[in-house]
Structure 1
């Protein structure tokens, strides 16, 4: 096993001789936008955002994806109409997350193009285009990072904080788009990049780097904090090399830090001000198969874990393993949602999540990391059992013992659960999760590790449905108190967007078939739907201006829509990316008929 791993590593292409050209930043376009007043976003506002605004990635730092607005409700949703639409500035995977504050919408697209729009009219206020380095065409994985920018921005003070594909943090003036400061947080020549935006906590920009499965990034994947006023680094936490934890070091077996990959925290974390703790999900180890990786049969920490860190110091408080020895790229970095069940001293402080592609839901005590419950949501054959303490036992029959040995794995590398975030409603104490039924074959291979490319050393077969299942798309409504199912929606097209829960009793989301829909929070019944130009994507959100509630929905190409089309040829992906933003509101004669 070790000989095989070392042979593979000898093929690694050296990166130190490669250099990247110098480049400059291109400031706001159009030039010299008109002066506009802008109310700064305070730390208190981030913790308690105005109900009419959407300041953070999931509106609140607990990542619930919930808005209390109720003008658009079960009675009025049928009266939604298009208010305005906007074509996005770049193609690529549609994973955008619009933010709204003080009447301005901030929209981040692929290639790190940031636009400020009038949130009421859709008029452009300013545009910023980050100039990325020219990478060699052979650096395929790293080049693609700029085409998969998700929630790449955050709002703080009078700034828009941007996490870029070339591993920079940039602060823009929110009123004009001009650069205030920037810092090269990590070395992009090694393969590091940002694909998700930061979390703002008490004047800190807490971010997580991506690209940690690229050849040159061996030895470190990081969550880091920077000063929000200057960009200076304050602390960093290494997810695959923690000398302070002997258990973590031993979990990698004989693999030294310089030969470790993976552990990528590629979804923005959450924050609990009560304990000053930030929670992050961590991705799979690399290479994907333990046969190639050389790490042995046990857990590989902190991969596929939840980690709880002190927000001031980055010190680990606890960690929990959701998938101890991943051999199939079923990584577990997705949204960690913070929920308080009950009130006062009797309240339970929960962290709920479907952390990984296997689609298994977990609830943990977020103060201690103690396991509370778990629930399977879609068909999977990888996890054999989870005991009363939360220890996960894998199906050993699916662990390859030889190169080129093919195994049939459910769920798929495409999920199960993927980056599309679920939403929690405090009205119903329910976690709503977009899911997919899917399987594929997984085969470990001997692969040359080359600059700018992943070290997965794995071949994946096409996505197919599990045995005896005909519908690919699922929304599961889970009671957070005990993990029981409240309702389940099944349909043939796969869901391709995140979900939004609202005070109007609705759950919004959309699918590969281009349908945007509003579901009843209590039953899952579809109360309204409309078909748009492309698969529904990104992160639907809602806001209110001048007494009118708006619903903003990104559309466009996504890998999930593409893999869904391979299962359902009658639901093809449209030619062209179609990356756009559609903004709806109620017809004017219904705009003020809120259900109180």
Structure 2
């Protein structure tokens, strides 16, 4: 199996196809000249309805696909026939221990003699080995403390019979680590902690002893963070495992480490000996993390001709959240180059002597009292995987442009079952500065597919998407790049210039990384669909707008191959009518403006990360402006007592008082009444007023001196 993961041929046996994680396929049957004949060969609908981040695996004619809540499906790769299905029976109340939903990014495969294994990390922290032929459980181990704020959403990796798995949960206060288990028996072989524990006690390794000096205060009481929730890569020649570590816990460095310090090994690329878990080297992407700028984003290995002389250097590349693209010598972690690939204002550049970012004064929100920064905690690039085409020499990045307003939380105290960031992320909602309000609306939220030259460190071309949410990337030797969007489009682009050559419209977001494989001389393209994730949950209307009462967010696997007939153009999405969007009218509620404002603040700080900023839901979990009569009647029991815990909505009796829940309920009723008024048909006089206003606006565009006000959108200072 090791050889298969080094040279996969026509298969896709690992998360990034091979150990280098380039997500590049040498297959050429589908190319720029015939991709317009690509059509749907078959699809498979899963029973789940949350975000699909899963990369399918294909080996020996079978597809292995994970879904939300850590289900695993085995399908015939030719026909889509179901072979088996495994449900780990995750308690949905565990959702309270996650930041961003019950996602799962994929499984891992291994062969031991005649025995095939499928490994999956369950959302509640188990690592489970399944029989690849039957789905029977071979062994299961609990990799995290039970009933703690840990989750697993990332795909395992297998190296020489060792299954490697990390975890998430830094926002809720945990200590990060990564663990190796024996693939056959499930025995724990080693564990590498990413941040030091209590300095009064012996550390687990010399690397952690060395890291203690970079911390101050009592960070271990908050966990410290540094979770390894996604990226890994492996170099068989060097026998080095590379991991990306996450943010600090809490985010605010003045709380986490009040005396300063870089806080090793947060936000770092770390090289480990996979035989024993020993530290080899590290490079810290974001020292003194203050913004949730993780280094858990996709890592990929390549050989680059950096001197343009025909010689190559073995490198590891990353486009992490902080907006800089890094190229390191993967033998020893030496920084070779780093340039901004996205719009940022928190740092000016990377100092090539120290290897550290040079922060702009605006970046320290503890000093400014509140700062509007690019990128937001969502990052300039998040979990969606990149791809690298060695022949074109380009990395294709799912880029995001979204700002965030950071305000220090002066009343911070560690609280169970809540995000413990030390940052008031919702200050922007109540900031009187119109520039901040304008900057945080959809007008400047953008998603991109960006082609980046890692040798010259420059952007070669870019495709702009209408919404910020966009999907993972696949590159092929047919000189194609495939990517989905939050609006449900799945597209193929010319790898050299970004020209769109083909498209397909689905009925849910396409965010996961696509794959390609060949069987019987036919090349297939496969991708999963399903809306969700932190950005689509929190930022309003990032998915396609569907009628609220009928939208189901179907989770599917879509598999395409070439057809005789040219594929039809994607059908345009019909705009929804006000009748489609009209909610049931909520009951009357007597409340003062002060009470509604207080309810809004409580909602934003306790509910918005799941149910959407300003109570505008993203078509993934309930939009609370659309509550029915029963939900209104049971609101206290749902919010406090956990009446719908079986659906993942736990009770907040530990963090909210009944009077506070009443204020939140009142705010949601007000938002319902506002929406009903907005969607009512306009009267004759309202229509007259609208057209007069519209005409004046158009005159203002033609004659700028008529415009009432202008805003300076130069936010780079």
Over aligned residues, Cα RMSD in angstroms? 2.7
Whether 2:227 is the aligned partner of 1:264: answer yes
Q: Is the 8 A contact 1:291 1:400 kept in 2?
A: no
1:359 corresponding residue in structure 2: 323
Q: CA deviation at 1:539?
A: 1.5
CA distance in 1 between counterparts of 2:453 and 2:98 reads 41
CA contact (8 A) 2:36 2:566 kept: no
SS at match of 2:540: helix
Match for residue 685 of structure 2?
Answer: none
For the Cα contact (< 8 Å) 1:471–1:490, is it kept in 2?
Answer: no
**Separation (CA, whole Å) in 1 of partners of 2:493 and 2:469:** 13
**Deviations for 1:94-136, whole angstroms, at most 9, x for unmatched residues?**
211111111111110011111111111111111111022464x
**Is the alpha carbon distance of 1:92 and 1:233 closer, same or farther for their aligned partners in structure 2, counting shifts above 3 Å?**
same
Cα 1:272/1:573, change in 2 over 3 Å = farther
- The answer to whether the 8 A contact 2:271-2:282 is kept is yes
Within-5 A mapping of 1:333-352: 333-342=296-305, 346-352=311-317
Larger radius of gyration: 2
1:401 aligned residue (341, 366, 370): 366
Query: Is residue 289 of structure 1 aligned with residue 252 of structure 2?
Result: yes
Q: How far does residue 298 in structure 1 lie from its aligned partner after superposition?
A: 3.1
1:483 aligns with 2:457: yes
Report 1:290-305 matches (<5 A).
290-305=253-268
Residue 244 of structure 1: which of 181, 206, 226 is its match?
Answer: 206
Q: Which moved more, 1:254-263 or 1:105-114?
A: 254-263
Distance 1:143 1:361, change over 3 A: closer
Does residue 585 in structure 1 map to residue 540 in structure 2? Answer: no
Shift of 1:254: 2.8
Deviation at 1:515, TM superposition (A): 1.3
Aligned match of 2:346: 382
CA distance in 2, matches of 1:569, 1:183: 36
Cα distance change on mapping 1:55 and 1:140 into 2, 3 Å: closer
Instruction: Give 1:310 shift.
Output: 0.8
Report the Cα offset of residue 452 of structure 1: 4.1
Name whichever structure is richer in strand by fraction. 1
Q: Does 1:562 align with 2:536?
A: yes
Distance 1:520 1:143 in 2: 38
Greater RCO, CA 8 A, separation 6+: 1
Kindly tell me: are residues 114 and 222 of structure 1, through their superposed partners in 2, closer, same or farther at Cα, counting changes over 3 Å?
Answer: same
Matched-pair contact (CA < 8 Å) for 2:489–2:504:
yes
Report whether the alignment pairs 1:90 with 2:48: yes
Work out which of the residue numbers 112, 115, 120 in structure 1 matches 2:73.
115
Call closer, same or farther: CA 1:568–1:226 in 2, change over 3 Å.
Answer: closer
Greater helix fraction, Structure 1 or Structure 2 = 2
Alignment-derived partner of residue 443 in structure 1: 407
- Could you tell me which of 277, 290, 293 is aligned with 1:314? 277
- CA 436–107 in structure 1, closer or farther in 2 if over 3 Å, else same: same
Report which stretch shifted further, 186-195 or 71-80: 186-195
| 1:410 has 2:374 as partner | yes
Checking the alignment, whether the CA contact within 8 Å between 1:382 and 1:394 is kept in structure 2 is yes
CA contact (8 A) 1:166 1:194 kept: yes
Query: 1-side partners of 2:25 and 2:389: how far apart?
Result: 9
Q: How far, CA to CA, are the matches of 1:146 and 1:164 in structure 2?
A: 13
1:37 corresponds to: none
2:439 and 2:519 map into 1 onto residues whose CA distance is 44
Matches for 1:154-303 after TM superposition, within 5 Å: 154-157=109-112, 158-215=116-173, 217=174, 220-241=175-196, 243-245=205-207, 246-255=209-218, 257-303=220-266
Instruction: For structure 1, list consecutive stretches of 5 or more residues without a partner in the other structure.
Output: 1-41, 592-596
CA change 1:56–1:401 in 2 (3 A) is same
Shift of 1:547: 1.1
CA change 1:88–1:459 in 2 (3 A) is farther
Q: Tell me the residue number matched to 1:26.
A: none
1:491–1:454 Cα change, 3 Å: closer
- Using the alignment, how far apart are the partners of 2:406 and 2:507 within structure 1? 34
Aligned residue number for residue 2 of structure 2: 43
Structure 2 CA distance for partners of 1:146 and 1:376, relative to 1, 3 Å: closer
Structure 1 residue 370 displacement after superposition? 0.6
8 Å CA contact 2:98, 2:169 repeated in 1: no
Give the distance between the partners of 1:454 and 1:302, measured in 2 at CA.
21
Say which SS state the counterpart of residue 117 (structure 1) adopts. Answer: strand
Contact 1:405–1:443, Cα closer than 8 Å, also in 2: yes
Q: CA, structure 1 residues 564+262, in 2 after alignment: closer, same or farther (shift >3 Å)? A: closer
Using the TM superposition, give the Cα deviation of residue 491 of structure 1 relative to its aligned residue in structure 2, in angstroms: 3.2
Aligned twin of 2:447: 473
2:357 maps to 392
SS of 2:254's equivalent in the other structure is helix
What per-residue deviation string (whole Å, max 9, x for no partner) do you get for residues 335-362 of structure 1?
A: 111001259994200111102x222111
TM alignment of 1:324-339, pairs within 5 A: 324-339=287-302
| Conservation of the 8 A alpha-carbon contact between 1:433 and 1:476 | yes
**Shift in Å at residue 400 of structure 1?**
2.7
Alignment deviations for residues 239-265 of structure 1 (CA, whole Å, 9 cap, x no partner)? 011651344111112335344421011
Residues 286, 356 of structure 2: 8 Å contact kept: no
Deviations 1:40-89 (A, max 9, x none): xx22212221x211100010111101111111110110001111111122
Q: Which runs of 5+ in 2 are unaligned?
A: 197-202, 430-436, 568-717
TM-score (norm 1): 0.85
TM-fit CA distance, 1:441 = 0.9
**How far has the Cα of 1:188 moved from its partner?**
2.6
In the TM superposition, what whole-angstrom CA distance separates every residue of 1:167-195 from its partner, at most 9, and x where no partner exists?
Answer: 11111000000011111222132222211
